[in-house]
Structure 1
């Protein structure tokens, strides 16, 4: 087989060796797991053993890492978004501004709470929600803006803080793709009223499934605990052998509590985050320097305020004359075949996303709500342009060596040399 022929049509791939595995467990991960498993307490709803539990330890460590006063762990990122939205008053009769290019849970959680997601287009340079588009989408029903920092970049924090100050609208920062990133030297997630993070398997900080919310208000912290713990909060003076959670019942809560097992993993992974982020940043810089020299190929330029980037989905964009004759999906298939790993498009724009159909929800029960919830009523031109011209791979590829980065560069060049063979029939 030819090394110049595309792997997708029978040639030899650029790479046959495996990539750095993700997620990866260390000796500390295994030690934490063994300790948690033998502790006699696998959930925060279990009896207090006299020792501080892993969930509490992880939350304190993450709050310290973020420079926040408090952190509340949840079962997943969607639950983190949910309780954050409950805290700012999202519910029937309200609207939340959501990016038009993001993961479906950002909008579906709003619907779950009986509110209406209003889709705002992205800034084409950062691929995060646009300040101008968000401001244009405001109404007298708007209660919050979900500020998603996406694709190794960030939304314009300065612009959104100004907007929030002028309007009184709550900002919730979704940093599920930005653990450790900084804006003018301060952690993303510390600028809004609340910060939310996912700890799902693919994230740079993971425990398999989990989420976490950060805040600086003690009152908010106590309510958030109740939203995630069926109306319960941690006791300030627990007794060994007794339940550590005490009943408050001040809000309508549900069970979104992260287990001690997941928390033990998360605590060990947090210790690795900065070191791993530094490796990703070095390799991402090497990759960008090479890719930017290839005509028609671009990477994401971060806003000036983003003083420390983190890398989750590494995005490569192709010019219209390159990708125009065929679907970006063909490029994704070809890259995956050359590299022997998962390559993907960006999230589908929310007004044409197969996973987002709010008209199937129980709240779509009046003519007015059906009209308001219909995602097709929103225009998202920049989201569609980005989707149709971009592909991405996950961050664990950036945990390798410069030789690994050379393979990515070689795959891009090989595909560009064989564009005619990618044209769809």
Structure 2
């Protein structure tokens, strides 16, 4: 590969159109038109004589996840906050949070006035490290949250054992993991509750949306109250024009309901998910073989994983390459060669500009609380190392034909061959 890198003026290696995301399915437009004409755009509108799209989705998604119950929500962040409160977490309680994650993993905890305790991750999977969790548990700990990160499934066997031994709820954050399976069972169904995001970049998306799944009917009822201003769907028949939501007065909530438009789109997207997951997995297997031969380390997953869901494809660069050029320059070079964004991982939450509780007066209850939630107090050396050595790209790329996936491997090969052009 004699040509210089595209980043420094050479020709781009791949000149092609890459798949866009989101991708609507065949029934989305008809379903959205149906909602428009239905007279009911959300479950807080009057009942119109038929099952809401929201409840159709709740039933279908619970079945997909192997869970007894599903409570849809407006966002993934809301689903995490709702699940935590439904599990009894409240003000000043400590919640174990993975230190390498999107900021919502911490902000949802802060949003219920609890304390995120940032814990380091496993260097192979980038998911919560069970040994670090064990070391972080105190008499103030009230829950453990894990994230199945990027394309990996966390070590559920070890984390469930810790949670059971300490009598703590384990909440699975599956925002990256729609369709992943552990020991041949869907993720989200192992913990006390599983939470999902359906934000626009996610594997199952309606632009915004979320869900809580659980087998515990008490947690589900509390989640219903919490996401619908203290109301739950009536269990008895409802007449047309009446409110389907019942004001119980049992538990105060907020409005985090999923609209009928979003639910209709999610039903369409759920039809497509398994076939897309299979295509992504085939592409990832091909690319992993090629990049492994170049000396790169593809993100691993827990031993019990039976099906991976590739939200982002992530690969770690060797030390000898990073000694010549920093990871951000390599990511820029790959982006220039391929024409789609290649980036680093999330920045660790102990040093992330999006995770600054001190920037919001709502958290300034007292000096002790502000000291407890200060992110910089936590040391996350593994998360820091991953951020400084891993590049990743979005799942939609893996929906491209295999010849396009081969272009990705060739781009890595070209960048590594010209690595000295990126030295700073």
Considering the TM-score relative to the shorter chain, is it more than 0.5?
yes
- The answer (yes or no) to whether the contact 2:87–2:219 under 8 Å persists in 1 is no
Is 1:13 matched up with 2:12?
yes
RMSD: 1.2
- Give the secondary structure class of the aligned counterpart of 1:315: strand
- The answer (yes or no) to whether the contact 1:96–1:144 under 8 Å persists in 2 is yes
- Give the secondary structure class of the aligned counterpart of 1:302: coil
Superposition pairs for residues 136-175 of structure 1, below 5 Å?
Answer: 136-175=135-174
Is 1:250 matched up with 2:250?
yes
Equivalence for 1:32:
31
1:132 positional shift: 0.4
Superposition pairs for residues 23-422 of structure 1, below 5 Å?
Answer: 23-236=22-235, 237-295=237-295, 297-361=296-360, 362-422=362-422
Structure-2 separation of matches of 1:326 and 1:101: 23
- The answer (yes or no) to whether the contact 2:149–2:177 under 8 Å persists in 1 is yes
Measured against aligned partners, the alpha-carbon deviations of 1:297-354 in whole angstroms (never above 9, x if no partner) come to 1101222101111100100110111113332111111111111112211000011101
- Give the secondary structure class of the aligned counterpart of 1:272: helix
Structure-2 separation of matches of 1:423 and 1:365: 47
- The answer (yes or no) to whether the contact 1:66–1:190 under 8 Å persists in 2 is yes
Structure-1 separation of matches of 2:353 and 2:234: 44
Structure-1 separation of matches of 2:412 and 2:249: 56
Taking structure 2 as the reference length, the TM-score comes to 0.97
- The answer (yes or no) to whether the contact 1:99–1:146 under 8 Å persists in 2 is yes
- Give the secondary structure class of the aligned counterpart of 1:102: coil
Deviates more, 1:23-32 or 1:156-165: 23-32
Structure-2 separation of matches of 1:223 and 1:148: 23
Measured against aligned partners, the alpha-carbon deviations of 1:61-90 in whole angstroms (never above 9, x if no partner) come to 000111111101111100001100111122
Measured against aligned partners, the alpha-carbon deviations of 1:253-277 in whole angstroms (never above 9, x if no partner) come to 0000010001100010001111110
- Give the secondary structure class of the aligned counterpart of 1:246: strand
- Give the secondary structure class of the aligned counterpart of 1:342: coil
1:3 positional shift: 7.7
Structure-2 separation of matches of 1:370 and 1:229: 30
Structure-2 separation of matches of 1:141 and 1:284: 41
- The answer (yes or no) to whether the contact 1:3–1:12 under 8 Å persists in 2 is no
1:368 positional shift: 2.1
1:239 positional shift: 1.3
- The answer (yes or no) to whether the contact 2:226–2:253 under 8 Å persists in 1 is yes
- The answer (yes or no) to whether the contact 1:3–1:11 under 8 Å persists in 2 is no
1:396 positional shift: 0.5
Structure-2 separation of matches of 1:384 and 1:378: 12
Structure-2 separation of matches of 1:58 and 1:32: 13
- Give the secondary structure class of the aligned counterpart of 1:45: coil
Unmatched tracts of structure 2, length 5 or more: none
Taking structure 1 as the reference length, the TM-score comes to 0.97
Structure-1 separation of matches of 2:177 and 2:26: 26
Count of aligned pairs between the two proteins: 422
Unmatched tracts of structure 1, length 5 or more: none
